[in-house]
Amino acid sequence: MSVATADRSRIDLSQKTALLAAGDLAAILAFIVLGSSSHSYGPFDVVHIAGAFAPFLVGWLLVAGPAGLYASDAPGTLANSTLVTLLVWIVAVAIAQALRATGLFPGGAALTFAVVSVLVGGLLLTLWRIVATVTLAR
């Protein structure tokens, strides 16, 4: 089963795309938990972690599907999967920073945090997508 999106790319509802989505969200959550822990919040401060995770989740969900990260041919080639994942993450971080700037989410927007988000979150997502691409290609 697939769901068409506004730009005609597809989100295919399958075990493979569910696994990809779960891994993506786990990588983003790991980024948030690592960051929260490094700023004197405990890894079990659920309220803080949920508030920090939400804008990144919104950004990711707005961009990942239309970009084809959950299409029937996902993850695709290693080079394409890595490049698309990084580009989607950069846009998702921009959306997250814009949301954080509204005051609806904790932390506010900061260029330094955006850079750290792109680098650390991008690394975690890229590593996950490399593992998924190699594993699913078998």
68-107 pLDDT tens trace: 898 888 777 888 889 999 999 999 999 999 999 997 887 7
Please tell me the total count of domains within the chain: 1
The C-alpha atoms of residue 74 and residue 72 are separated, in whole angstroms, by 6
DSSP state of 11: E
The pLDDT tens digits for 10-60 are 787 888 889 999 999 999 999 998 887 666 666 567 787 888 899 999 999
User: What DSSP assignment string belongs to 33-86?
Assistant: HHHHHHTT--TT-HHHHHHHHHHHHHHHHHHHTTTTTTSTTTT-SHHHHHHHHH
Write out the residue range of the structural domain in which residue 15 sits. Answer: 2-136
Query: What pTM, to 2 d.p., does this model score?
Result: 0.84
Q: How far apart are the first and last CA of the chain?
A: 23
